[in-house]
Amino acid sequence: MSERVAILLSGGGSNMVALLDSMTGDHPARPALVLSNRANAGGLEKAAARGVPTEVVDHRPHGADRAGFEDALHARIMEYQPDIICLAGFMRVLTEGFVARWQGRMINIHPSLLPKYRGLDTHARALDAGDAEAGCTVHEVTAALDDGPILGQARVPVAQDDTPGTLAARVLAMEHVLYPAVLRRFAAGDRTPVWLP
Ligand code: GRF
């Protein structure tokens, strides 16, 4: 029996595509759902084009009621009975209540070498700090933002003339390698971290 994977996103979904495209052959998981909090997220069309069910749960009608949004999110996700949730550019902070429901079964990709640069603007912050290398991290999701056990990291050298944009593009290319590699292990029940390159 394959593990069923739900992927949550808010944007273009390039990581989602990399994950979907990896789940073939002897991979221990298969996609069950791609869900967005934004109806206009580009990732939804890409998932549908690949024959994967899509859903939208808009956070806006819930206003400041995060628990209300997360209840709706959880209910919609459960219709697809996933075993694993992959966050892939899902731009909503999840509360302890939601995280607890998926503890040990929800993973996220973040564009920095955690524990450095939790939150936003990671590439600009790495450049401002004069870091010689940047990268990305896949980690288990816990209640603390961009925290939780590290399941893999990919390192990318910083070039002298890098801008946040050029660095982001090189890191993103490595995200597309790292995330599928981690998901394959994670879905097989192996939490040994993946270190790239
Ligand atoms: C990626 O940089 C990811 O690390 C971050 O959000 C971005 C999503 O990009 N969490 P995409 O939608 O997968 O192209």
Pick the catalytic residue: 110, 123, 139, 176? Answer: 110
Contact of 146 with 152, CB cutoff 8 Å: no
Residue 15 alpha carbon to ligand 1 centre in Å:
6
pLDDT value of position 66: 95
Average pLDDT over residues 34-61: 98
- pLDDT, average across residues 177-184: 98
Q: What domain range is 27 assigned to?
A: 1-102
The reply to whether 96 and 116 lie within a common domain is no
Whether 94 and 35 map to the same domain: the answer is: yes
10 lines ligand 1 (CB under 6 A): no
CATH of the domain at 38: 3.40.50.170
96 and 190 in a common domain: no
Query: Within 10 Å of residue 23's Cβ, how many Cβ atoms?
Result: 19
Query: Are residues 118 and 35 located together in one domain of the fold?
Result: no
Tell me: do 42 and 122 sit in the same domain.
Answer: no
- Strands laid side by side in the 84-87 sheet: 54-56, 29-36, 3-9, 84-87, 106-110, 133-140, 150-157, 194-196
Residue 42: phi, psi to the nearest 5?
-60, -25
Say yes or no: 36 and 133 in one domain: no
Q: Which residue among 73, 102, 131 closes a domain?
A: 102
Mean pLDDT of 91-107: 95
Ligand 1 within 6 A of CB of 13: yes
Q: Can you give the pLDDT at residue 132?
A: 98
* Rounded Cα gap, residues 62 and 65, in angstroms: 5
Same domain, 95 and 130: no
Query: With a 6 A CB cut-off, is 9 part of the ligand 1 pocket?
Result: yes
Kindly give the distance from the C-alpha atom of residue 42 to the centroid of ligand 1, in angstroms, as a whole number: 12
Q: What is the pLDDT of residue 4?
A: 98
How many domains is the chain built from? 2
For the stretch 127-178, pLDDT in tens is 999 999 999 999 999 999 889 999 999 999 999 999 999 999 999 999 999 9
What pLDDT does 63 receive? 95
Q: How many residues does the chain have?
A: 197
In this structure, the answer to whether residues 93 and 120 fall within a common structural domain is no
Residue 74 annotated as catalytic: no
Residue 1 clears pLDDT 90, i.e. is over it: no
Instruction: Tell whether ligand 1 has an atom less than 6 A from the beta carbon of residue 135.
Output: no
DSSP labels, 5-16: EEEEESS--HHH
Check residue 50 and give its pLDDT: 98
Residues 126, 159, single domain; the answer is yes
Indicate the residue among 69, 102, 135 that finishes a domain.
102
Domain boundary among the residues 70, 102, 134 is at 102
Predicted TM-score (pTM) of the model is 0.97
Residue-averaged pLDDT of the chain: 97
Q: Is 123 in the pocket of ligand 1 (CB under 6 A)?
A: no
Distance between CA atoms of residues 143 and 147, nearest Å: 8
Both 117 and 74 in one domain: the answer is no
- Residue listed under structure tokens 């390159």: 197
The Å distance, Cα 10 to ligand 1 centre, comes to 9
Gap from CA of 124 to ligand 1 centroid (Å): 15
Same domain, 82 and 169: no
How high is the pLDDT of residue 188?
A: 98
Nearest atom (ligand 1) to Cα of 12: 12
The tens digit of pLDDT for each residue in 66-95 reads: 999 999 999 999 999 999 999 999 999 999
2 and 96 in a single domain? The answer is yes
CB of 123 within 8 A of CB of 171? yes
